[in-house]
Amino acid sequence: MSLREVAHSIRTMEIRGAGEIARAGANALKDFAQGYKGKDIDRFKNQLEGGKKLLLSTRPTAISLWNALQTVTKGAKDSKDIEELRDLIVANADGFVSRSKDAVKMIGKVGSQRIKGGDRILTHCNSKAALSVIGHAFRDGKKIEVTVTESRPWRQGLQTAKELARDGIPTTLIIDSAVRWVMKDIDLVYVGADTVASNGAVINKIGTSQIALIAHEARVPFIVCAETFKFSPKTVHGELVQIEERDPSEIVKEGEIPKSVRIRNPVFDATPADYIDSIVTEVGVISPYAAYDIIVKELGQEMDLEI
Ligand code: RUB
């Protein structure tokens, strides 16, 4: 796929999930660099920058994509010739993709320690990191059951339910508004993240914050699974996370309700740190209040504040 095609696939959600879009973005820049036939280094750099902008314009909320593209182009400014720049982009992209896949596996191992045989787990949307935890616990022989929310309007929960059923994990599907009713039958909640802000707030699929509130009310631990590249250096610089609002046609069909009715389709929300028990990362389980430390330690290269 060309860089343009990858951007289109991310925009239209053929490629989706914060980890997947980050890896797809990194690979798109790598493929572009490998296929670059020009002889002018400045033109090459400009086109890479343009490709980065195009990829970043696809979906605004997941910081994973920005972190991935920053990592892939790290050091590009100082490159003096085309070969050197091409090799740098390829090595950076390969390094990012391989680290990010290892991170998902490590999150599975670390996050599953908390799960005991007989636990009933609830998850929302379709998160590779959360599924890694659940799958790890199951492969360790723990007899678990998983409840999955439908996750309107894209219904990513159906994908999650298919993946769990394929692996032989007992799975129940519920509609999003049933969460409060079924919470009495749940022991642990595991969700993924698109972005973790420096104040520990987690931005994830719309409805996540309601689930966190309900879990809090029922004293059920609410655990977030997030690779360190889901943490946002931009929030340290004072930027607010932009919540993507998608087309109303994803919710109602043309003519289904009067045109005068306004339709909003925000697809992510923010869960404050107070409602989060812990965040499982590839460098260990942390309190949401340690988000700033993770940003400084793991993503430190992006941290220089300029006046
Ligand atoms: C997906 C979503 C997922 C996170 C984490 O939203 O909110 O929970 O991206 O996923 P969308 P992962 O379907 O709109 O992209 O753990 O796979 O990165």
Distance 87 CA to ligand 1 centre (A): 30
Omega before 153 within 30 of 0, i.e. cis? yes
To the query of whether residue 194 is one of the catalytic residues in this protein, the response is: yes
CA distances (Å), origin 140, targets 3, 109, 136, 297: 40, 10, 6, 32
161 Cβ closer than 6 Å to some ligand 1 atom? no
In 139-180, which ranges are E strands? 145-149, 171-174
With a cut of 50, list the residues of the chain below it in pLDDT: none
- Relative to the CA of 64, which ligand 1 atom is closest? 18
CA distances (Å), origin 254, targets 23, 200, 250, 271: 35, 39, 10, 32
Distance 38 CA to ligand 1 centre (A): 36
The whole-angstrom separation of Cα 69 and Cα 91 is 13
129 Cβ closer than 6 Å to some ligand 1 atom? yes
280 Cβ closer than 6 Å to some ligand 1 atom? no
63 Cβ closer than 6 Å to some ligand 1 atom? no
Nearest to 223 by CA among 281, 270, 264: 281
Distance 266 CA to ligand 1 centre (A): 14
Tell me the β-bridge partners of 60.
Answer: none
Ligand 1 pocket: which of 14, 61, 65, 126 to mutate (most atoms <8 Å of CB)? Answer: 126
pLDDT of residue 300: 80
pLDDT of residue 146: 98
Q: Is 85 exposed, middle or buried, given 0-12, 13-18 or 19+ CB atoms closer than 10 A?
A: buried
pLDDT in tens, 239-254: 999 999 999 999 999 9
16 Cβ closer than 6 Å to some ligand 1 atom? yes
Q: In CATH, what class is 3-103? A: mainly alpha
The whole-angstrom separation of Cα 247 and Cα 264 is 8
The whole-angstrom separation of Cα 82 and Cα 45 is 9
To the query of whether residue 125 is one of the catalytic residues in this protein, the response is: yes
CATH superfamily of 107-299: Translation initiation factor eif-2b; domain 2 (3.40.50.10470)
**In a 3-state reduction of DSSP, which class is residue 273?**
helix
**In a 3-state reduction of DSSP, which class is residue 154?**
coil
128 Cβ closer than 6 Å to some ligand 1 atom? yes
Ligand 1 pocket: which of 61, 149, 205 to mutate (most atoms <8 Å of CB)? Answer: 205
Which of 42, 119, 167, 194 is the catalytic position?
Answer: 194
- Relative to the CA of 131, which ligand 1 atom is closest? 16
271 Cβ closer than 6 Å to some ligand 1 atom? no
Q: Is the pTM of this model over 0.85?
A: yes
89 Cβ closer than 6 Å to some ligand 1 atom? no
- Relative to the CA of 225, which ligand 1 atom is closest? 16
Lookup: tokens for 290 = 């340690």
67 Cβ closer than 6 Å to some ligand 1 atom? no
The whole-angstrom separation of Cα 106 and Cα 297 is 18
The whole-angstrom separation of Cα 8 and Cα 187 is 39
- The domain spans of the chain are 3-103, 107-299
Check if the beta carbon of residue 282 is closer than 8 Å to that of residue 128. no
Distance 169 CA to ligand 1 centre (A): 21
- The string of DSSP codes covering 99-119 is HHHHHHHHHHHHHGGG--TT-
* Domains 3-103 and 107-299 fall in the same CATH topology: no
Distance 17 CA to ligand 1 centre (A): 3
